[in-house]
Amino acid sequence: MLDRRTLLIGTGAAVATLGAAATPAAAEDVTRVLLQEHPSPAPGWDTAQTLVEIPRGEASGRHSHPGVEVGYLVRGEVRMEFDDHRPPLHLRTGDPFFIPTGVIHNAVNTGEETTMMLSTYVVEKGKPLVTTY
């Protein structure tokens, strides 16, 4: 049975580490629910899968991950903004996305409903899953 924990990534959120307990977010906050985590086949790396929800008109806040993020937009619309000068991605329900290691990004909900994203990470063992800026 999976142990699901809510990790905060919204404004003012603390850095979330894999396996860390967290306080549930207020309704207006962005949430990240840890669905599963496992050691990666590559030594020194972990895998994690999360379900991220961003309320209408909200943004995830600028953040990065210590490994790659492979994602899928389950519901809604998002403008994915990047600090490394690449153009923003405009994503809709059913679109996949990929965020390289360490790239600072921000997901802005541009739709009319709460956005839901499924994200899988391969990250360095012992590093925070999310670092906010």
Q: Using the predicted structure, report yes or no on whether residue 81 has a pLDDT greater than 70.
A: yes
More confident call, 79 vs 29:
79
Distance CA 33, CA 24 (A): 10
What domain range is 13 assigned to? 5-132
pLDDT attached to residue 18: 53
Distance CA 26, CA 39 (A): 31
Q: What is the DSSP string of 20-43?
A: ---PPPPTTS-EEEEEEEEE-SST
Whichever domain contains 12, its CATH number is 2.60.120.10
Mean local confidence (pLDDT), 70-92: 96
Please tell me the total count of domains within the chain. Answer: 1
Q: Using the predicted structure, report yes or no on whether residue 79 has a pLDDT greater than 90.
A: yes
pTM above 0.85, yes or no: no
> Count of CB atoms within 10 A of residue 87's CB?
8
